[in-house]
Structures are given as C-alpha cells and as structure tokens.
Amino acid sequence: MAWMDDGFSTTMAFANTPSGETLLFQEVSLSPPGLDMGGANDTTTMQNTAWRTMSPKQLKTLTEFTATAKYDPEVYDQILVMLGDITEITITFPDSSTLVFYGWIDKFIPGEVVEGAMSTATLTITPSNATAAGVETAPVYAA
C-alpha cells in the first residue's frame, strides 16, 4: 500500500479538448470526486417498537468536484466548446495511479484578478457515470 503523503502532482485530463489542443489552464489544486450512496431509505413502519429503521440505497454516485487552475484568457474559447460536453476524464495521482470516468465541465468561474498575484479560476466537474450515448459506465481506478 502506498500512502499519498504529498498531493503533488495530481492532474486531470479531458479527452474532448478542441482539436487535441493543450488546455490553456494548469491545475493549482483539485479535490478528486468522492463516492456517495445518496443517504438512507427510511424503512420505519408502525410495527417498529423503539427505533427508526433504514436501509441503504442501491445506486452509487461519483460526486461533483472542483479544481483551481491558473489560466490563459484564451481558455474561454476552449471551455465554451467543452462546457456540458460529456467526455472521458482522467485524474492522475502522484503515484501515477488513475481514476477514469465520464463527466463534463459544469462551471468555469474566474477568481478576482489583482496586481501581484497569479490569476486563477475554479472549475466544477460533474461525473455523469454514463457515456455521451447514455451507456452507464462505472469509474475505473487503476493502480
């Protein structure tokens, strides 16, 4: 087992970059997607005597996540093409392991631009758990 003692360098890559271009942003930080069961199903009935009962839902969610990146203003043209377009996304961890899943860029929000500081933007990425054709596809982790 290899512990991730340092997040450097965790990156993300999108399969649908316009004309195979290099994206005009570079990750400063990112929070990889999480896993969520969606909460409990309440199974309590009038036959319960002291406790509310629950059971887990059956479907899983790969959660939305964010990344902060420095950017070239020309990235606006790239993001406009990619926004809402379901594509394969790869997160590469420092140990070279990967998490590959389908999803889209949902938001690109530039931060405040100030003298003497690097300009950054926040990207919000939503996993779709399905291809653009609607085929349910689980995320794949590879060590």
DSSP for 38-100, please give it: --EEE---TT-SS---EEE-S--EEPPEEEEEEE-TTHHHHHHHHBT--EEEEEE-TTS-EEE
Residue 107 and residue 123 in contact, taking contact as beta carbons nearer than 8 Å: yes
Q: Tokens at residue 101, please?
A: 């899943």
The pLDDT of residue 7 is 93
In tens, the pLDDT along 14-70 reads: 999 987 788 889 999 999 999 999 999 999 999 999 999 999 999 999 999 999 999
In tens, the pLDDT along 70-112 reads: 999 999 999 999 999 999 999 999 999 999 999 999 999 999 9
The pLDDT of residue 1 is 67
Whole-prediction pTM value?
A: 0.92
> Where does 1-32+62-137 sit in CATH, by number?
2.40.10
